[in-house]
Structure 1
Amino acid sequence: MEWDWWTAEFGDAHAGAVGVLVDGGEPGPVYFDVGSGPNMPSTTHWSAYDGRRHRGPRAEALRAVCACGWRGAAEYLLDWAAIGDRPLYEADVDLTGPLADWNAHLSLVRDKAAPLPEPLAALLVTVAEQLSATAEDAPMAALRAVGVLERIAAGVGREAAGALADDGVSAETVAAGLGTTRSKALVLLLTAQDR
């Protein structure tokens, strides 16, 4: 499924996009006829649902969606009288409503997530800024630093997940604490048990 993601600090587990509603439900992907062949490209990008492409459906409303399965309750009707015959990607469609709804969803996810100690949060901001600056001035050094950080993070992550697994913390609790999916939390816990 192709998404035009809004990314978040929780990675792909809570990436958001603009969803489409047709007849009160979410339609399947729009396919592009590129001739014969085994692969037929498709998309679920909101702008493809203008009824123009190969008899694809015409979106009635938009709403926020999240990779975790959450769907925004608010529906933002499309004014086809104002849009006219233009493709949706050329129309001046206001996406601030879906984006605001997704940000509100992320606020709830953040509220349930384990808080980072302030010194660690500040250190992570500093490391990110330093890595970005180094990537501009010395990209090879930045890649080396990222590799070191990945190894440190993997080792500490296994230790922390192992401690949670040893304490019998559920995958649901870990998922909420990390702002991720239950399946990803379960993988972390199971991997830690193999240490």
Structure 2
Amino acid sequence: MGWLHTDDDGSHEAWVVAVLAGGEEAPRDTIEDSEETWKRRVSWSWSFKYDGNEGRRRAQALRVVCACGWRGPRRAVDFADPDACDEGLQREWVRHAEVSMSRTLPERLRRLLDEVEETVQALSVPVREGGELHEQRPLLAIYAATRLQMNAGEWQKEAVRAARAADYSWDEIAQPLMTSKQSAHERFRKHVPDSP
């Protein structure tokens, strides 16, 4: 199918798989590049390869599969509106990819964080007799770390609010927080209203 997301630590690629009678998955579907396909205006091959016409097998369900091994749940087939099926399956995969990559920093952000860490550590060296003021600034290091901590707390609350507004579960939010679902909920429930 060709949904692809690549980051610094790998990639996720997804495709739609037709689930046939008995639960068997059909081979990975691809876009058919034939005149008949374009005449029928069908984007993804499952919608005509497994429609039960002309002696072909009929899909009983669909699922999205990621190259990382993740398999989405089975979903109903709508041969009348295959694009709507694809859109729904794509949303599931995007959610999977976001949760999977929630602890993978983009290279630019990783470099910036490393630079901040190195700078604060360099300011934190013990004051030496005869040392230069610009080399020894432990009080400035304390202030910088305090500002980062205060800002990080607010950034984290805002990100959790955004995740809840996007209907991410507390279990999904707990993963990038590196904590349990219960701890995440306990920590942020005062700042983030639960979805209705």
**TM-score interval w.r.t. the shorter chain?**
0.3 to 0.5
Higher relative contact order (CA closer than 8 Å, sequence separation 6+): 1
The structure whose Rg is larger is: 2
TM-score between the two structures when normalised by the length of structure 2: 0.39
